[in-house]
Structure 1
Amino acid sequence: MLSVSNVDLYYGAAQALRGVSLEAKKGEITCVLGRNGVGKTSLMRAIVGQQAIRSGQIALDGSDLKGEAPYTRARRGIGFVPQGREVFPLLSVKENLQTGFAPVKRGERTIPDHVFELFPVLKSMLSRRGGDLSGGQQQQLAIGRALVTRPNLLVLDEPTEGIQPSIIKDIGRAIRYLKEAGMAVLLVEQYLEFCRELADKVYIMDRGQIVFEGVGADLDDPDVRKHLTV
């Protein structure tokens, strides 16, 4: 589904990514871990088209995405849940979900039933403003909005950040459901146990590079965990 090959990314003279390569396959959950400031969010922004890369290749289903704008990548099937959720606080829950219609063909602009099956609280709050929801509810709304775009690849940047444990479990169940439905899920996290339970494949980043590649069970290894200690 997604292939990232030898990607370099710069902010001015500062290099944020150094030869990064990874894959995210259909029906699998791929998790990228690392301490703060190692380049995880820069990598996600490069994948969804919010940040241009200096060199390397990002391809979806074998097709190079170079030069494609974020909205074009959304039409190609990349859904994005950014760090901090970025819901529209003055729009209702329903209106927030409907902003996901932008890359969808006019005749398909409906909210899929599975959004409310995964996150029932959204259905009961359709008329409430996004800014009035709790942090956990806003995260569910942000994921639901991404699912409205009908993605084949769902990219989530730290979906458990600042979220209460009960909603983290709900988000985990939703991610498993999407995996079983055949979606490719690419997840950036700092919550180690969340990734250990969910991930089929894990990558660990440090100083803009991939320093470890393995499977979720490898996160039990002390030699692997040392890459994540502060």
Structure 2
Amino acid sequence: MTALAVTNLDVFYGAAQALRGVSLSVETGKVCCLLGRNGVGKTTLLRTIIGQLKPRRGQVMLEGRDITGLKPFERAKSGIAYVPQGREIFPLLTVKENLETGFAHLPGTQRNLPPEIFELFPVLATMLGRRGGDLSGGQQQQLAIARALVMRPKVIVLDEPTEGIQPSIIKDIGRTIRFLRERGQMGILLVEQYFDFAHELADTIAVMTRGEIVVSGAAADLEAAAITRHLTI
């Protein structure tokens, strides 16, 4: 099943065009990696997917439903979870309170913390009473991903989750992404700059340059050189 599909997206900031006819899809139980250097439009695409930006042209579909006109909170309620670059956890709330912010769009019967998040990130279980701002950068990243999983999403969007993170936490994040893929209940859109991390996890890869998708396809079918030449200055 196609969890998320964007088709022919054109997005502008005033008179400047940021996205040009961008199309990609994310299958349920698969990882789509979006690669590209800084400033090529990756975050603009994510902001359009989650509803923070409106496209001038094109369409965003979630499991076959057109959500192009929905507001961000409506898209979250429909099943899109976003882990932003920089994590954006609430520093004055405890870990438990940060996790519970994921309850906002859930019915009362689902307002509980799934045990799997503590299996994936056991350090969080020992820090439930600590404030989010007191955690290390890697622990905050784990918290941000766990908060998204509390929402029971159909699609999880991860914006450069390895940025500024120590190698041991990067390995934990990789294991988490593999687990979510193998469980097969959601589509995963992973935005990265680092080819090796992305290529190990990806089922499909799309590469952006100057607001356009210039390479796309199954990861197994794409040559590394065809990808990395767009990632170097």
Alpha-carbon deviations, 1:36-82, whole Å to 9, x = none?
A: 00000010111111111111001011111122111111111111100
The answer to whether residue 78 in structure 2 is matched with residue 76 in structure 1 is yes
Could you tell me which residue of structure 2 aligns to residue 22 of structure 1? 24
Q: List gaps (5 residues or longer) in structure 2.
A: none
Measure the CA separation in 1 of the matches of 2:50 and 2:7.
15
Q: Tell me how far 1:122 sits from its aligned partner.
A: 0.5
Counterpart residue type for residue 205 of structure 1: M
Could you tell me which residue of structure 1 aligns to residue 187 of structure 2? 184
Aligned to 1:44, what secondary structure does the other structure show? helix
Measure the CA separation in 1 of the matches of 2:35 and 2:221.
13
Equivalent pair of 1:118/1:174 in contact (CA under 8 Å): yes
Give matches, 1:188-199, under 5 Å. 188-199=191-202
Measure the CA separation in 2 of the matches of 1:103 and 1:44.
20
Counterpart residue type for residue 41 of structure 1: T
Counterpart residue type for residue 203 of structure 2: D
Measure the CA separation in 1 of the matches of 2:109 and 2:27.
29
Could you tell me which residue of structure 2 aligns to residue 225 of structure 1? 228
Measure the CA separation in 2 of the matches of 1:90 and 1:26.
35
Aligned length: 230
Q: Tell me how far 1:219 sits from its aligned partner.
A: 6.1
Between the aligned residues of both structures, percent identity stands at: 63
Could you tell me which residue of structure 2 aligns to residue 6 of structure 1? 8
The answer to whether residue 75 in structure 2 is matched with residue 87 in structure 1 is no
Measure the CA separation in 1 of the matches of 2:38 and 2:59.
25
Measure the CA separation in 2 of the matches of 1:102 and 1:186.
22
Could you tell me which residue of structure 1 aligns to residue 206 of structure 2? 203
Measure the CA separation in 2 of the matches of 1:64 and 1:197.
31
Alpha-carbon deviations, 1:118-144, whole Å to 9, x = none?
A: 000000000000001001000000000
Measure the CA separation in 2 of the matches of 1:220 and 1:165.
26
Counterpart residue type for residue 187 of structure 2: A
Aligned to 2:229, what secondary structure does the other structure show? helix
1:135 corresponds, among 129, 134, 137, to 137
Equivalent pair of 1:219/1:225 in contact (CA under 8 Å): no
Aligned to 2:213, what secondary structure does the other structure show? strand
Measure the CA separation in 1 of the matches of 2:200 and 2:115.
26
Counterpart residue type for residue 58 of structure 1: V
Equivalent pair of 1:8/1:15 in contact (CA under 8 Å): yes
Q: CA RMSD in A?
A: 1.0
Aligned to 1:163, what secondary structure does the other structure show? coil
Give matches, 1:109-128, under 5 Å. 109-128=111-130
Equivalent pair of 1:196/1:217 in contact (CA under 8 Å): no
Measure the CA separation in 2 of the matches of 1:147 and 1:29.
16
Aligned to 2:70, what secondary structure does the other structure show? coil
Q: TM-score, with normalisation over the residues of structure 2?
A: 0.96
Could you tell me which residue of structure 2 aligns to residue 59 of structure 1? 61
Q: Tell me how far 1:86 sits from its aligned partner.
A: 0.1
Aligned to 1:38, what secondary structure does the other structure show? coil
Measure the CA separation in 2 of the matches of 1:223 and 1:151.
32
Q: TM-score, with normalisation over the residues of structure 1?
A: 0.98
